[in-house]
Amino acid sequence: MKLLITRPLPDPVMQAARARFEVTARDSTLPLDAVELRAALTDYDVVLPTLGDLFKAEVFADVPALRAKLLANFGVGFNHIDTKAAATLGIAVTNTPGAVTDATADVALTLLLMTARRAGEGERMLRQGAWQGWHPTQMLGAAVSGKTVGIIGMGRIGRAIARRCHFGFNMRVIYHNRSATDAGVPAQQVSMPEVLQADFVVIAVPGGPATRHLINAEALAQMAPHGILINIARGDVVDETALAAALQTGKIAGAGLDVYENEPQITPALLNMENVTLLPHLGTAVLETRTAMGMMAVANLIAHLDGQPLPNQV
């Protein structure tokens, strides 16, 4: 069975894949282009794609002789794949939930702490040779311990963030979710306007049409002036233009972003703001995590090969 792996993956993952499949592995770290997307569906039995490989409805519609039967996505988010269009053509889609939870939650706390304590701004000042020494009112930031964190989306990652905030920083946890759930720590489910009033608002919802621009100008206007917004979910959950305007006008105090609407492009206004922490999508950038994600994707592929139920079908 012919397998296309669209990006370089850790060695153990490649070895596991090659043990069971005839593997073609791209060397490029860039997403598949329009020609490659179509070739993936016509030249291979199964594909292991990832973020940025845009298998949209028009791509599926433009393939007259379909061969691929499974897109085993590397990553928990799969909004770059039109799953309805895929299902119509008999193509299954899987993802890699669970493996990403702790690493992504860690980055949420990294962004929260960096933004609250102005760590990025301080490092830039130091590297530029502008630091003149300690003094009592230099770069005063926001305290984290004992504050309120509002988590939008209480799935695996949301619960992992809640644990870190509660046990690590004695924070009060409130959350907004489609349904009541066990947060794993003392937490209160609240309305969207209420969660936006938290000292720190962390977005942990899935991507897709239902959550696109969930955080827009109206939502940002409901945040507290001292509020800090953290996004480790999907970039298009936040309207970046509205976010830049809210930061420029002081409607909110800061933001920490690991994902962006039009990756790798970033809204230019955000690049020039000292009260914004910007990371290059590091959420799962841990070797152990990326290896676990890859092995989970391969497990989905092997299940398909062996005619078994897919462990992580979406």
Return the number of other C-beta atoms located less than 10 Å from residue 209's C-beta: 7
Q: Tell whether the torsion through CA atoms of 169, 160, 253 and 269 is positive or negative.
A: positive
**Rounded alpha-carbon distances, angstroms, from residue 232 to 121, 154, 172, 247:** 20, 13, 20, 18
266/311 Cα distance (integer angstroms): 35
Half-sphere exposure of 101 (CA within 13 A, CB side): 14
228/233 Cα distance (integer angstroms): 15
Return the number of other C-beta atoms located less than 10 Å from residue 254's C-beta: 25
Cβ-contact 190, 176 below 8 angstroms: yes
The catalytic residue positions are 234, 263, 281
> Structure tokens of 232?
């480790």
Q: What angle do CA 171, 175, 178 make, to 5 degrees?
A: 165
Gyration radius (Cα) of the chain, Å: 21
Instruction: Return the SS3 of 111.
Output: helix
Return the number of other C-beta atoms located less than 10 Å from residue 89's C-beta: 13
